[in-house]
Amino acid sequence: MNIRSSKKMIKVIKKVRAMQKLADLLRREGKTIGLVPTMGALHDGHLSLIKKCVKASDVTVLSVFVNRLQFGPKEDFGNYPRQFAMDKKLAADNGVDYIFAPSHEDFYNSDFSSFVDVEGVTKNLCGSARPGHFIGVATAVTKLFTAIKPHKAFFGEKDFQQFVTIKKLVADLNIDVKIYSGKIIREKNGLALSSRNAYLSDDERERALVLYRSLVEAKRLFIAGEKNALKIINNAVNSIESQEIEIDYVKIVDINSLADIKRIGEKALMAIAAKVGKTRLIDNIVLK
């Protein structure tokens, strides 16, 4: 039986139990299941992950689920872009076999009370800026793994902390899924692709470019011999604030633990989170 679908045969699955039954069938048939977890509003960054997954798997499942648990009380859950019809078309055009799109009520039962907390790597960066965010992420991803039962899962490096968190989660809980990453996909001007870019006005999009430019300049300074993290950070802060952007954090951290470092060795991660207007954007670069 050939499970791989053409774009006309893509199937949407809305129930956890139905997804589990399908996953069991595919596994019995010896199919390798690949998962690309998303909250929808697909862009070229998502599509790059889908293409990697399709190439590496017999069956590709795209999850589309805006996970309420990872949004804070004053964040944009209600306004987060939702465009399921377009997402379905893009998924079909790029080789996805199944879309798993459960309702909140089916995914989290009415008396849901079990949560996954990955400590250590979630304490810094967005973990400190958005309390509870990574508990929501880790809980949802764990539930996606138990519903879809993938052999492989693909995450983008734009949210580098999320990628590290999921790798730690899988290692700590002995979850039998291999985690792959995809590089940050950018617009021609350098702006990292994000579903939230849709919120930006033309002026805000122009000012947001300073985030990437600051990261590129940081890498240039590092390659030129600057190892003092604070000096590189301060240079970026000055550039970003010159564009009247509200900084959440600018940090240089250990590439594995994500803890702050004062002096850069052979490799480190520089990460930025900032509000451009009302839109919170993140970006990062590896200094090596």
What positions carry a catalytic annotation? 46
Phi/psi for 229 (5° steps) reads -65, -40
How far apart are the C-alpha atoms of 6 and 254, rounded to whole Å?
43
How far apart are the C-alpha atoms of 64 and 96, rounded to whole Å?
12
Burial status of residue 5 (CB atoms within 10 A of its CB: 0-12, 13-18, 19 or more): middle
Task: Extract the tokens encoding 73.
Answer: 């009380």
Task: Extract the tokens encoding 126.
Answer: 């967005």
- Three-state DSSP class for residue 10: coil
How far apart are the C-alpha atoms of 218 and 201, rounded to whole Å?
27
How far apart are the C-alpha atoms of 122 and 239, rounded to whole Å?
27
Q: Are strands 178-182 and 246-253 parallel, antiparallel or unpaired?
A: unpaired
Angle at 50 between CA 59 and CA 146, to 5 degrees: 55
Q: What strands lie across the sheet with 152-156, from one edge to the other? A: 11-13, 98-100, 59-64, 33-38, 152-156, 178-182
How far apart are the C-alpha atoms of 139 and 127, rounded to whole Å?
15
How far apart are the C-alpha atoms of 134 and 128, rounded to whole Å?
10
